[in-house]
C-alpha cells in the first residue's frame, strides 16, 4: 500500500523529502577512512589482507587474465550475449551524440581564444559482485568513457568464493572493450584505484555503484581523484493520468522497490480510482516476487502517493522531489516534457517502463538520487572529459586594451598583475 499525502499538507510532504537524504554515518566514514589509509600505506599486501577479511578469499594475483576471461565467457547464455550486444549498440549510439567539439574564436588585433575538449587519461569502474551481478552497469559506465576517448579503462569487481568473477560481468567487460580487470571489491578497491598499489595503477576518475562502504570510500577519496556521484537508494516517481493501466503502474513501482528497503516508489496521479487499483495491484504483484520482503519494507517506509488536480500539478510536485526515474504515464507525454525541470531520466508514455532504460534503450542508468537531480546529471560522455581554454594576444592587442587590464588589477589591489600588462605597453 502507498501512503497517501494530502497535496495541501506541505509539512508532511517536506518531511517525506527530507527522509530521502542519503547520509553516510560517521561510524562508516571512520571505518572506511582506516581501510583507505591501510591501502595507501600497504599497497597490494594490505589489499590482499582486506580481501581475505571482507570477502573470505585469498588472492594471489588481482589481475584477471585473458584465459580467465575466455573460460568465463564460455559459460554465458547465448541469448544473454545477444541481448547485451544489442544493448551495447543502443548505448554507444546514444552517447556518441553527446560528444562536444573544441572551438576557436578569432577577434580584432590578431586576438584568438578557445577551448579544447580533452578525454581523461584513465578511469576506474566499480562493478558490484558477490551474490549480485550487474553486467548492465559495466556497459553504462565503460561505453561513455570509451566514446569520450579515455585510453585506459579499468574495472574492479569483488571475487566470488571461487576467486573468479561472474561470467556475465566478464563478457560485459569484453563487449565494452575493457582489458584491464582486477578482482577486488569494497572500500579497498576504491582506495587502490585512487592511490594505486604495486599491481593496480591509480586512475583519474572512479565511477560505478556499490554498497554504503563503497559510497563512503568514493566520498573520502574525492579530491585525490574525481568520482561520478555518491548515489543513494533507488527511486521511481510515476505521474499518471486516468488512462494509465494500474497493472503497469504497480509493476513499475515494484521494479524499484525490489532494489532496497530504502528505495522509494512514488505515485502522483489525477485519478483516485487509479490509486486504489494500483494499491490492489501492488499487493497482488508483490506477493509473487522473490524479493517481496524487501518490497514490503520499501513500500511501508517510502511508498507514497499524492492525488493532484492536474498533470501539471503532478509535475510541480515531481520537480520538488527531483526523482532519479520519472515516468510520465500519460496520453500525450511530449506535451508535458518541457515542464519537467528536475529528473535524472524521464520515461515517456504508457509503454516505456523504467527497466527499458536500465538495460536496453540506450540512455544511461547511472543517475542522480536523493534530490540531487536538481543540480546534477546522468552519467555520460561529459563525465569523462575535461576542458582547457587557451588565449593569444598580440602586441597590438595589448596596446589597445592594456589600460583596462591595469585598471581592473589596481581596483583589486594587485599591482603585480597591473605591472605585467604595464611593462608590455608602448
Helix axes 272-286, 292-302, angle to 10 degrees: 150
Reduce the secondary structure of 141-187 to three states and give it as a string: HHHHHHHHCCCEEEEEECCCCCCCCCHHHHHHHHHHCCCEEEECCHH
Catalytic residue among 166, 235, 281, 325, which?
Answer: 325
Alpha carbons 180 and 199: distance in angstroms, whole number = 11
Establish whether 324 is a catalytic residue.
yes
Query: What residues have CB less than 8 Å from 178, skipping those under 6 apart?
Result: 125, 138, 142, 153, 154, 155
Query: What are residue 177's phi and psi, to 5 degrees?
Result: 85, 20
Q: Looking up cell 570477502, which residue turns up?
A: 55
Query: What residues have CB less than 8 Å from 60, skipping those under 6 apart?
Result: none
Catalytic residue among 324, 327, 354, 365, which?
Answer: 324
Query: What residues have CB less than 8 Å from 179, skipping those under 6 apart?
Result: none
Q: Are 97 and 363 in contact (CB under 8 A)?
A: no
Establish whether 404 is a catalytic residue.
no
Distant-in-sequence contacts of 94-101, Cβ < 8 A, 24+ apart: 94/361, 94/362, 94/363, 94/364, 95/143, 95/144, 95/147, 95/362, 95/364, 95/380, 95/381, 96/147, 98/144, 98/147, 98/380, 98/381, 98/382, 99/147, 99/148, 99/381, 100/381, 100/382, 100/385
What SS3 class is residue 291? coil
Please identify every residue annotated as catalytic.
Answer: 324-325
Amino acid at each position: 500500500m502507498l501512503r497517501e499525502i494530502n497535496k495541501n499538507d506541505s509539512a508532511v510532504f517536506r518531511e517525506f523529502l527530507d527522509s530521502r537524504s542519503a547520509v553516510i554515518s560517521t561510524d562508516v566514514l571512520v571505518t572506511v577512512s582506516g581501510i583507505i589509509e591501510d591501502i595507501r600505506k600497504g599497497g597490494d599486501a594490505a589489499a590482499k589482507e582486506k580481501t581475505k577479511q571482507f570477502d573470505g578469499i585469498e588472492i594471489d594475483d588481482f589481475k584477471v587474465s585473458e584465459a580467465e576471461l575466455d573460460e568465463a565467457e564460455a559459460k554465458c547464455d547465448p541469448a544473454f550475449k545477444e541481448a547485451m550486444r544489442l544493448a551495447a549498440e543502443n548505448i554507444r549510439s546514444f552517447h556518441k551524440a553527446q560528444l562536444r567539439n573544441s572551438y576557436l574564436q578569432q577577434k580584432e588585433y590578431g586576438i584568438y581564444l578557445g577551448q579544447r575538449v580533452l578525454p581523461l587519461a584513465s578511469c576506474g569502474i566499480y562493478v558490484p559482485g558477490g551474490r549480485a551481478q550487474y553486467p548492465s552497469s559495466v556497459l553504462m559506465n565503460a561505453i561513455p568513457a570509451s566514446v569520450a576517448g579515455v585510453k585506459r579503462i579499468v574495472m574492479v569487481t569483488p571475487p566470488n568464493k571461487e576467486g573468479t568473477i561472474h561470467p556475465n560481468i566478464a563478457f560485459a567487460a569484453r563487449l565494452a572493450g575493457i582489458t584491464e580487470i582486477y578482482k577486488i571489491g569494497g572500500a579497498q578497491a576504491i582506495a587502490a584505484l585512487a592511490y594505486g598499489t604495486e599491481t593496480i595503477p591509480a586512475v583519474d576518475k572512479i565511477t560505478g555503484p556499490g554498497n554504503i562502504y563503497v559510497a563512503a570510500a568514493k566520498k573520502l577519496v574525492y579530491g585525490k581523484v574525481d568520482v561520478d556521484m555518491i548515489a543513494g537508494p533507488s527511486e521511481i516517481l510515476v505521474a499518471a493520468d486516468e488512462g494509465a493501466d494500474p497493472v503497469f503502474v504497480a509493476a513499475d513501482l515494484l521494479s524499484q522497490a525490489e532494489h532496497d528497503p530504502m528505495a522509494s516508489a512514488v505515485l502522483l496521479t489525477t485519478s483516485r480510482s487509479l490509486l486504489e487499483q494500483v494499491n490492489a495491484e501492488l499487493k497482488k504483484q508483490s506477493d509473487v516476487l522473490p524479493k517481496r520482503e524487501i518490497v514490503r519494507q520499501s513500500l511501508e517506509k517510502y511508498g507514497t502517493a499524492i492525488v493532484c488536480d492536474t498533470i501539471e500539478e503532478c509535475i510541480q510536485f515531481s520537480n520538488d522531489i527531483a526523482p532519479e526515474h520519472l515516468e510520465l504515464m500519460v496520453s500525450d507525454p511530449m506535451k508535458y516534457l518541457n515542464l519537467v525541470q528536475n529528473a535524472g531520466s524521464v520515461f515517456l508514455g504508457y509503454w516505456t517502463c523504467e527497466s527499458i532504460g536500465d538495460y536496453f534503450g540506450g540512455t544511461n542508468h547511472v543517475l542522480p538520487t536523493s534530490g540531487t537531480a536538481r543540480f546534477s546529471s546522468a552519467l555520460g560522455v561529459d563525465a569523462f572529459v575535461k576542458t582547457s581554454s587557451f588565449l593569444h594576444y598580440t602586441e597590438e592587442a595589448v596596446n589597445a586594451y592594456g589600460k583596462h587590464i591595469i585598471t581592473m588589477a589596481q581596483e583589486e589591489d594587485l599591482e603585480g598583475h597591473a605591472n605585467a600588462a604595464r611593462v608590455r605597453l608602448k
